[in-house]
Amino acid sequence: MAVSLRSAALVGNPNAGKSALFNALTGARQKIANYPGVTVERKAGRLVLPGGEAIELTDLPGSYGLHATSPDEEVTRKVIMGEFPGEPAPQVLVIVLDASNLEQHLVFAQEVIALGRPCVIALNMVDLAERDGLTIDPAALQEALGVPVIATVAVRRRGLTELAAAIAAAEERAAEHHRPHTTLTERRVTAHAIAEAAIVSETARHRLHAKLDRLFLHPWAGPLILFALLFVVFQAVFTWATPFADALEGGIGWLTAQVRALMPESLLRDLITDGVLSGVGAVVVFLPQIVILFFFILAMEASGYMARAAFLMDRMMAGVGLSGRSFIPLLSSFACAIPGIMATRSITDPKDRLTTILIAPLMTCSARLPVYAVIIAAFIPNRSVLGPVGLQGLVLLGLYVFGIIAAMVVALVLRRSVTKGAASGFIMELPKYQMPHPKDLLIGLWQRAWIFLRRAGTIIFMVTVVLWLLLNFPRAAPGEDQVDASIAGHLANGLAVVVEPIGFNRDIALSLIPAMAAREVAVSSLATSYAVSAGDDEAAQAQQLGDRLKASWSLPTALAFLAWFVFAPQCMSTIAVTRRETNGWRWPIFMLIYLFALAYVFAGLTYWTAVWLGLG
């Protein structure tokens, strides 16, 4: 008996159903973190063996072989070989095979088995294989490979106990000699022979996924279906989320009122209510939108449709040096750049991924809508351009299109300069269609929501506290305005000189400072600096603010402000998530600088053109 068993890892090709198997084996309590130094996700959980002892099970990134072609595969290779610093090699390797694609998956499996380490094979998704008319004999496979083979169906919890028992037993056969090294071609020939022998019967059945592909990848119907689906997703993100967002906002309001009622008036009370609760609250209200958006993204991923969407959009994205994989992250950024940037993890090419992260903030996120709405309502006449098409709606659409065009141009420029590299190809497996399993969706949703909330509780919390301090210190003398006396007020004076050439006044400069916590805060801080007393009625507040703005801003100033917000560089949460996803300050700082530069130049161009046209 050797040392006691402490760790095991799942390895296998992408699309082998590893994640579903991992969820089924470990349950919802998983630890998600990055491997140190890289942005590859490390997923670990607790697996209880039949004997009652618990071991750590990790879900290694999907890999086609031990010759790494992506950062994901590099991590898998290093962990398996025990070469990853600070990450002891897993004691047992659980090789996950897709039973319906046995021949392909056996190629990598042979490579892992040849390492001579204790391993067990999970012959997964045998139900899907049966759906395709395939019957496989696990005993024959076990005979051919020389390691235990357990048939599993992760989503139905079939074979899990047997697999756990096999993992516990695998440790006994640790002392195995090294097998001779083979070439890829040799492994492929062997894989073919083993698969032939293990497949008991194969009826020619029209495979479901070929039929679905004929519809979803149809040259004309395919894109139409995709756009119809996206339309539903966006409707859902904006309409379903509203009641939940309202409830959250109500909850935060109630909490604020409770703090006001229970605590004596003091600076500390103001810090809690005006700083923390309103600042963190402004970000947390986006949680329902993020959860709904990720529900659709995860469902599209789990069903296999996501790869088809990437296929359909690849031609368009190739035009700016990206691939179809960038499409969904960029689309998500229309709701909020944070989930968008988080979704770039599915992009395998590091340069592609970085470019996508850098242009994600140019997609008009929902936090910019309140700003656009107030300014457009105040300055753009509500008249019809053509039939039901109104000028206001047209301007709003124009701002969205402006953002998209800017993103495409920036991507083109970046791909030829800072993120230059081998032309990112687009080679991807189109996985089989599957019904997403509710439990897997729930675990995924919970993980995304938790990442978002944890950040709201840490970095966004800190930023709002700092902003509040800047706005409240030093204290104003009696009769003096607090904002004017504060550090932020003085900063605004300095900033006003800088933004004056592009038509911004000091009030705008001041509103840009708190808008760093969340873009839409610009509206409420403009409202504060114009001393609008409209109570809690938001519509009335927007209306009155509009009237005030109209009285004190010229049209060129308003247009320049809109142009500024197309780039809206001042979202701290986006910067924070970029730091996390790129593992350092270099790229978030680059992003901040390029967005500020573009915002300044385009706001200026808008202002000068408008003045020149005599609009002011």
Partner 1 sequence: MTIDHLPIGMSARIVAVDWARLVPEEAQRLQALGIDLGAKVSVAHRGVFSGRDPIALSVGRMAVALRRAHAEAIEVEWL
The binding site for partner 1 (CB under 8 A) comprises 64-65, 67, 69-70, 100-101, 103-104, 107-108, 132, 184-185, 188, 209-210, 213-214, 217, 219-220, 222-223, 307, 310-312, 314-315, 318, 324, 422-423, 425-430
Q: Which is nearer to partner 1, 98 or 171 (CB)?
A: 98
Q: Which is nearer to partner 1, 238 or 426 (CB)?
A: 426
Please report how close the Cβ of residue 134 comes to partner 1 at its closest, in angstroms: 9
Q: Which is nearer to partner 1, 11 or 522 (CB)?
A: 11
Q: Which is nearer to partner 1, 68 or 496 (CB)?
A: 68
Are 122 and 96 in contact by the 8 Å Cβ rule? The answer is yes
Please report how close the Cβ of residue 312 comes to partner 1 at its closest, in angstroms: 5
Pairing of strands 54-59, 7-12: parallel
Please report how close the Cβ of residue 95 comes to partner 1 at its closest, in angstroms: 16
Please report how close the Cβ of residue 117 comes to partner 1 at its closest, in angstroms: 21
Show the tokens assigned to 178: 């090294």
Q: Which is nearer to partner 1, 420 or 454 (CB)?
A: 420
> Whose CA is closest to 121, among 97, 103, 137?
97
Show the tokens assigned to 142: 């076990």
Per DSSP, the three-state class of 335 is coil
Q: Which is nearer to partner 1, 150 or 312 (CB)?
A: 312
Please report how close the Cβ of residue 62 comes to partner 1 at its closest, in angstroms: 11
Are 567 and 462 in contact by the 8 Å Cβ rule? The answer is no
Residues belonging to the chain: 616
Please report how close the Cβ of residue 190 comes to partner 1 at its closest, in angstroms: 14
> Whose CA is closest to 529, among 548, 502, 551?
548
Strand partners, 390: 384
Please report how close the Cβ of residue 598 comes to partner 1 at its closest, in angstroms: 30
State the number of CA atoms in the 13 A half-sphere of 502 facing the CB. 24
Backbone angles phi, psi at 511, to 5 degrees: -70, -25
CB burial of residue 397 (10 Å; 0-12, 13-18, 19+):
exposed
Please report how close the Cβ of residue 127 comes to partner 1 at its closest, in angstroms: 16
**Pairwise CA distance, residues 247 & 417, whole Å:** 46
Q: Which is nearer to partner 1, 27 or 65 (CB)?
A: 65
Q: Which is nearer to partner 1, 106 or 280 (CB)?
A: 106
Q: Which is nearer to partner 1, 139 or 184 (CB)?
A: 184
Q: Which is nearer to partner 1, 98 or 440 (CB)?
A: 98
Strand partners, 48: 54
> Whose CA is closest to 8, among 192, 166, 161, 233?
166
Please report how close the Cβ of residue 100 comes to partner 1 at its closest, in angstroms: 7
State the number of CA atoms in the 13 A half-sphere of 518 facing the CB. 26
| Helix spans in 458-520 (H) | 459-472, 482-485, 487-499, 506-512
CB burial of residue 158 (10 Å; 0-12, 13-18, 19+):
middle
**Pairwise CA distance, residues 351 & 438, whole Å:** 34
Please report how close the Cβ of residue 2 comes to partner 1 at its closest, in angstroms: 34
- The full DSSP string for 346-358 is G--SHHHHHHHHH
